[in-house]
């Protein structure tokens, strides 16, 4: 991997491209009525995935970029769960039939902050409203510091088969600097509980670019994580945006590594995981060779959505909860971010849609190109453009940001087929951005490219 390219491109702020167009381009012009119409127009054979956002934690991790708040009272969480159940019923009614569901993902916040019986009730509500396939993947994001044996049992009985554990770093110096003290022993105990309950799909989330983090501490975290043999790793660069997330102001910016140090940390983690036998998936995921995600990557069927890389092939993602984002063939919708406004909308019998985006034909074309670049580090522009009734030559001519990437050897163009050079894959977001017609480089809305 080339440090000269990291220096040249690494400081640019770019989207992670979990959608296209990205969320900053959503508009209040798309509201509850539009969403209701989109739901009722879903094709009869459509299947869906469900995302449920639980915006509560017991304490705030200072690096966090999620929509969440601290909940000391359990009644607040219980009331929110009841609102989720009402929203599920409203959306199912708007669809007008029991649509098939292939994936369910609980995100947060800390979804397991719910009482075990409340979690079971929520799963039952989804199974009543939708036809959850027996083969469905049901995944839950977990904070190992707060998970109980009772919740693990509720998850088991509810059919959960994948757990994503937040690890970030096992370095105690880093942990104190981000207000997340979590021992290796706590994490190992949770992994053991989950596997004993038959929840065998285990993901670990790691972060580089945190305060006081070094290549050595990153590698130590990887070494200890490998002892627990997770199926997948997600490895993210810390996005320091204190202007948007005020709690990040608790982090001393002077203790953050610079762009080149972040690059070195990312490379070290990637190399260590690959040496341990994991397959690198796109920008930031790693999986065992026999894992479904590694198979999808090999077969060219990998997808990308708001949870990152996925094996999910559904064209419909229904988002539930405050700030949750959904994706339908017609476009994107996002719920009210503030919990109070979200709750009031649902209590009034209205969908909680606050904003969204209606896709154009050009958006769909560019979304396909960007997704293939992000998933495969390549794109057959001729084939993709032909499927959309467009000309690859015109698309290439409009991608002015592509020219310096080609000159620097980041991108290779063979006719109408584009490929990211193997030593430049860490800049895949920069390549994808070349096809982003909505990108405004002057706005600091995203994380650094490296």
Low-confidence ranges of the chain (pLDDT < 70): 1-3, 10, 441-450
Instruction: Classify strands 303-305 and 308-310 as parallel, antiparallel or unpaired.
Output: antiparallel
Q: How far apart are CA 3 and CA 408, in angstroms?
A: 12
Q: Is the dihedral of CA 172, 176, 180, 181 positive or negative?
A: positive
Q: Is the dihedral of CA 211, 212, 214, 219 positive or negative?
A: negative
Cβ 107 vs Cβ 307: under 8 Å: yes
Domains and CATH numbers, the chain: 3-358 (3.80.30.20), 361-448 (1.10.10.920)
Instruction: Give pLDDT, residue 72.
Output: 86
Closest CA to 102 of 52, 49, 140, 53: 49
Instruction: Give pLDDT, residue 446.
Output: 53
Q: Which residues of 25-59 are buried (b: 16+ CB within 10 A; e: fewer)?
A: bbeeebbbebbbebbeebeeebbbbbbbbbbbbee
Considering the entire predicted model, what is its pTM?
0.93
Instruction: Give pLDDT, residue 369.
Output: 98
Instruction: Give pLDDT, residue 5.
Output: 79
Q: How many CB atoms lie within 10 A of CB 96?
A: 10
Please give the angle made by the CA atoms of 87, 334 and 121, to the nearest 5 degrees. 25
Q: How far apart are CA 59 and CA 62, in angstroms?
A: 9
Q: Which residues, at least 6 apart from 70, have a Cβ–Cβ distance to it below 8 Å?
A: 56, 57, 58, 59, 60
Torsion angle of C-alpha atoms 357, 361, 364, 365, degrees rounded to 10: -150
Cβ 338 vs Cβ 329: under 8 Å: no
Per-residue pLDDT reduced to its tens digit, 105-159: 999 999 999 999 999 999 999 999 999 999 999 999 999 999 999 999 999 999 9
Please give the C-alpha separations between residue 83 and each of 53, 88, 154, 251, in angstroms, as whole numbers.
12, 9, 20, 34
Please give the C-alpha separations between residue 298 and each of 75, 137, 308, 424, in angstroms, as whole numbers.
46, 20, 17, 20
Instruction: Give pLDDT, residue 266.
Output: 94
Q: How far apart are CA 313 and CA 309, in angstroms?
A: 11
Closest CA to 107 of 351, 324, 337, 310: 324
């Amino acid at each position: 991997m080339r440090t000269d390219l990291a220096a040249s491109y690494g400081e640019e702020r770019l989207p992670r491209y979990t959608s296209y167009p990205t969320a900053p381009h959503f508009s209040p012009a798309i509201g509850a009525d539009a969403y209701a119409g989109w739901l009722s127009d879903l094709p009869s054979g459509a299947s869906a995935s469900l995302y449920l956002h639980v915006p509560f934690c017991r304490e705030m991790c200072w690096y966090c970029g999620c929509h969440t708040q601290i909940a000391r009272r359990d009644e607040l969480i219980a009331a929110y769960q009841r609102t989720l159940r009402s929203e599920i019923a409203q959306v199912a009614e708007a669809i007008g039939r029991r649509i098939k569901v292939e994936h369910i993902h609980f995100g947060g916040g800390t979804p397991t902050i719910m009482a075990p019986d409340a979690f079971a009730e929520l799963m039952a509500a989804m199974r009543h409203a939708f036809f959850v396939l027996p083969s469905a993947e049901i995944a839950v994001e977990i904070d190992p510091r707060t998970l109980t044996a009772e919740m693990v049992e509720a998850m088991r009985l509810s059919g959960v088969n994948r757990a994503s554990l937040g690890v970030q770093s096992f370095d105690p110096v880093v942990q104190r600097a981000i207000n997340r003290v979590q021992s290796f022993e706590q994490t190992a105990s949770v992994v053991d509980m989950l596997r004993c309950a038959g929840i065998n799909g285990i993901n670990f989330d790691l972060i580089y670019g945190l305060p006081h983090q070094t290549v050595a501490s990153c590698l130590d975290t990887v070494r200890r994580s490998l002892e627990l043999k997770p199926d997948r790793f997600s490895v993210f660069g810390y996005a320091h945006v204190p202007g948007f997330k005020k709690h990040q102001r608790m982090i001393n910016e002077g203790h953050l590594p610079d762009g080149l140090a972040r690059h070195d940390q990312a490379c070290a983690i990637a190399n260590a995981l690959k040496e341990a036998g994991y397959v690198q998936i796109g920008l930031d995921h790693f999986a065992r060779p026999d894992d479904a995600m590694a198979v999808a990557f090999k077969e060219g069927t990998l997808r990308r959505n708001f949870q990152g890389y996925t094996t999910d092939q559904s064209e419909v993602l229904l988002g539930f909860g405050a700030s949750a984002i959904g994706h339908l063939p017609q476009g994107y919708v996002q719920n009210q971010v503030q919990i109070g406004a979200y709750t009031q909308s649902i209590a009034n019998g209205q969908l909680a849609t606050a904003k969204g985006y209606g896709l154009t034909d050009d958006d769909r074309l560019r979304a396909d190109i960007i997704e293939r670049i992000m998933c495969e580090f390549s794109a057959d522009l001729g084939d993709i453009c032909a499927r959309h009734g467009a000309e690859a030559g015109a698309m290439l001519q409009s991608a002015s940001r592509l020219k310096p990437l080609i000159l620097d050897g980041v991108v290779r163009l063979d006719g109408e087929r584009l490929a990211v050079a193997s030593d430049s894959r860490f800049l895949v977001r920069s390549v994808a951005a070349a096809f982003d017609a909505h990108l405004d480089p002057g706005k600091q809305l995203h994380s650094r490219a490296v």
